[in-house]
A and B are shown apart, each in its own frame.
Chain A
Amino acid sequence: MSLSEEEVRKIAHLGGLAIRDENIPRYAQSLSSILDLVNQMEAVDTVEIQPMAHPLDAIQRLRPDEVRETDQRAEFQPLAPQVENGLYLVPKVIE
């Protein structure tokens, strides 16, 4: 299986990654070889097999719906690249 450079660009876009043009051929090659590896799975018939999502087949544990978290904005804000008046700053979205 061989991914085209166009396909790699599309996957990178879906994955939210800006990739340099000069790296695209390299990614096309390594991603193709990984998909070849992965495609070995096709050798097995799995029509009757139940997919396994969790090693212990556990179900989602639920807790009582009560407030536990307190406001920690003052602790979190210093971690952000850019904040102002308690808000996280990003480039303007709506003109």
Chain B
Amino acid sequence: MHKASVAELSAALKARKFSSEELVRAHLARIHAQDSELNSFVTVTETEALAAASHADKLIAAGEASPLTGIPLAHKDIFCTRGVRTSCGSKMLDNFVPPYNATVVDKIADAGMVVLGKTNMDEFAMGSSNENSYYGPVRNPWDTKRVPGGSSGGSAAAVAARMTPLATCTDTGGSIRQPASLCGITGIKPTYGRVSRYGMVAFASSLDQGGIMGRSAEDAAWLLGVMAGFDPKDSTSVDRPVDDYVGGLNQSIEGLTIGLPREHFGEGLDPEVGAVVEAAIREYEKLGATIKDIDLPNSPLSVPAYYVVAPAECSSNLSRFDGVRYGYRAQHPKDLQDLYTRSRGEAFGEEVQRRIMVGTYALSTGYYDAYYLKAQKIRRLISDDFRQAFSEVDVIMGPTSPTTAFPLGERTDDPITMYLSDIYTIGVNLAGLTGISIPAGFAGGLPVGLQIIGNYFEEARILSVAHRYQQVTDWHTKAPADAGSQT
């Protein structure tokens, strides 16, 4: 059951080959067997999942099911779930049980899907290795001494280890695509504004976007159709019709023009990773696509600009955590100021504090123009580079991350090296575009991801381009040995 596609699972449920309850129990069993080692779940909602599965089985029996009814998934622990603790990977929210659902959570429940639990993540989605979680690091199922990437490392590891067919996740600078790449799965970050952010704990509001991890572009297309769409409760949500992502999967790529940004193949790229990505691009050439070299001249500035914009917005967004209305409160405060600062000092981890401080500094009097305004201008240049590129090509391809999964602990003392893990993904967030990472092969036994970047609202196109590759290759079907069975 854990190897079937979403479409196969849906068909099997309808044909009553197995019930949703059996399907959910099979995945829960895989979680129980593997997750004490991988640590990809913060909370497993077994009781609720079995109740939801039993309800889904009734809907299926009554002929009232939608295509995804009864299919299990996991939510990144950044999406508010009514009655189920939503920690965001932080001590600050360790005791936070939301009184409402994120829009994405409601939409997925309305489709009849079954939530297995909430996945581990870097605290407040700040990190590229999932080592910044209050609940401990997640381990990469391909090699448990290595990181799964981050910040959506729990979702990525859970999908890779076949503990869930699908997972929600979020991407502010690469937090879907980089862990998808490092764990050998498919992960799509939609266009900014495509998926509602209501009830998704805010990190950097002009960059954050919810998305999907799954085993294939086809599986992701099914879920994106459920998650995407206008939400009046999110002021940044875009009011625009949702494409038929599943129906569009079989678009031909004959005549497709693929742009290869020179800047994504230069210094810093692991040669073995580069070779895998180049082989994937040759496959596209065989399928009838035209390859064209392009320039994104300002892309070297994407990491510097991001580390102003994201911390600035985070310092503002995280000011709401004050120890008064919800979340962690320091013991025995001597006055109100002490209550605020010690609650925040004791409950936020080091990386979160670091980013709050960078953001506070960048926004402080006398520095605003030199940092925040300057970064917003660079952001325009980066966005214009993409606009120019998309006047010449249909999609842009390259490596998702410069290396494969790195060892746990290797970069925890060096924030800059950690940040550079997202060097190819951050520009997409700054410009607000859509991007997907798909498995393209292995280097040194570890998965390598191919990033496909699409123009605004071209999710259907990049999904179909990814799907075409997955029809002629089998990298996306490769799974790690079950955790616990490794020696």
Given contacts A31-B354, A33-B415, A56-B238, contact A46 B378 (CB under 8 A): yes
User: How big is the B interface, by class?
Assistant: 35 or more
A37 touches B416 (CB 8 A): yes
B354 touches A30 (CB 8 A): yes
Interface of B: prevailing SS: helix
A93 touches B336 (CB 8 A): yes
Residue of A20, A33, A46, A93 touching B374 (CB-CB under 8 A): A46
> Interface with A: B64-72, B356-364, B464-472, which one?
B356-364
Given contacts A15-B356, A41-B378, A93-B336, contact A52 B329 (CB under 8 A): no
B357 touches A27 (CB 8 A): yes
- Contact string, A43-58, partner B, CB cutoff 8 A, digits 1/0? 1101001111111101
B203 within 8 A of A: no
A44 touches B378 (CB 8 A): yes
A11 touches B301 (CB 8 A): no
Q: Compute how far the CA of A52 lies from the CA of B446 in the bound complex, rounded to whole angstroms.
A: 38
A40 within 8 A of B: yes
Tell me the minimal C-beta distance from A12 to chain B in angstroms. 6
- Contact string, A1-44, partner B, CB cutoff 8 A, digits 1/0? 00000001001111111111001000100110111011111111
Considering residues A20, A27, A39, A58, which has the most beta carbons from chain B within 10 angstroms of its beta carbon?
Answer: A58
B238 touches A51 (CB 8 A): no
Given contacts A82-B329, A88-B324, contact A41 B305 (CB under 8 A): yes
Q: Compute how far the CA of A75 lies from the CA of B100 in the bound complex, rounded to whole angstroms.
A: 10
Given contacts A51-B373, A52-B380, contact A91 B354 (CB under 8 A): no
Residue of A12, A20, A37 touching B303 (CB-CB under 8 A): A37
Q: Compute how far the CA of A49 lies from the CA of B383 in the bound complex, rounded to whole angstroms.
A: 12
Contacts of A50 in B (CB 8 A): 377, 380
A51 touches B336 (CB 8 A): no
> Interface with A: B102-110, B256-264, B341-349, which one?
B341-349
B415 touches A30 (CB 8 A): yes
Residues 448 to 469 of chain B near chain A (Cβ within 8 Å): 456
Contacts of A18 in B (CB 8 A): 338, 341-342, 344-346
Q: Compute how far the CA of A82 lies from the CA of B324 in the bound complex, rounded to whole angstroms.
A: 8
A19 touches B345 (CB 8 A): yes
Residues 408 to 438 of chain B near chain A (Cβ within 8 Å): 415-416, 419, 430-433
Q: Compute how far the CA of A90 lies from the CA of B235 in the bound complex, rounded to whole angstroms.
A: 32
Q: Which residue of B lies closest to A83 (CB)?
A: B325
B253 within 8 A of A: no
Contacts of B308 in A (CB 8 A): 38, 41
Residue of B298, B344, B379, B381 touching A16 (CB-CB under 8 A): B344
Considering residues A13, A31, A37, A52, which has the most beta carbons from chain B within 10 angstroms of its beta carbon?
Answer: A52
Contacts of A67 in B (CB 8 A): none
Residues 294 to 344 of chain B near chain A (Cβ within 8 Å): 298, 300-301, 303-305, 307-308, 315, 319, 322-329, 333-336, 338-342, 344
Q: Compute how far the CA of A12 lies from the CA of B361 in the bound complex, rounded to whole angstroms.
A: 9
Residue of A17, A23, A39, A60 touching B356 (CB-CB under 8 A): A17
Contacts of B333 in A (CB 8 A): 91
Residues of chain B touching chain A, judged by Cβ–Cβ distance below 8 Å, are: 96-97, 99, 192-193, 206, 232, 235-236, 238, 298, 300-301, 303-305, 307-308, 315, 319, 322-329, 333-336, 338-342, 344-346, 348, 350, 353-354, 356-362, 364, 371, 373-381, 383, 415-416, 419, 430-433, 456
Supplied contacts A11-B360, A38-B375, 16 more A-B pairs, CB within 8 Å: A12-B353, A14-B360, A15-B356, A15-B359, A31-B361, A37-B303, A38-B371, A41-B375, A49-B380, A52-B380, A53-B206, A56-B432, A75-B99, A90-B336, A91-B335, A92-B335
- Can you list 10 A-B contacts (CB < 8 A)? A8-B357, A20-B345, A37-B416, A42-B374, A43-B301, A51-B380, A56-B432, A80-B326, A81-B327, A81-B328
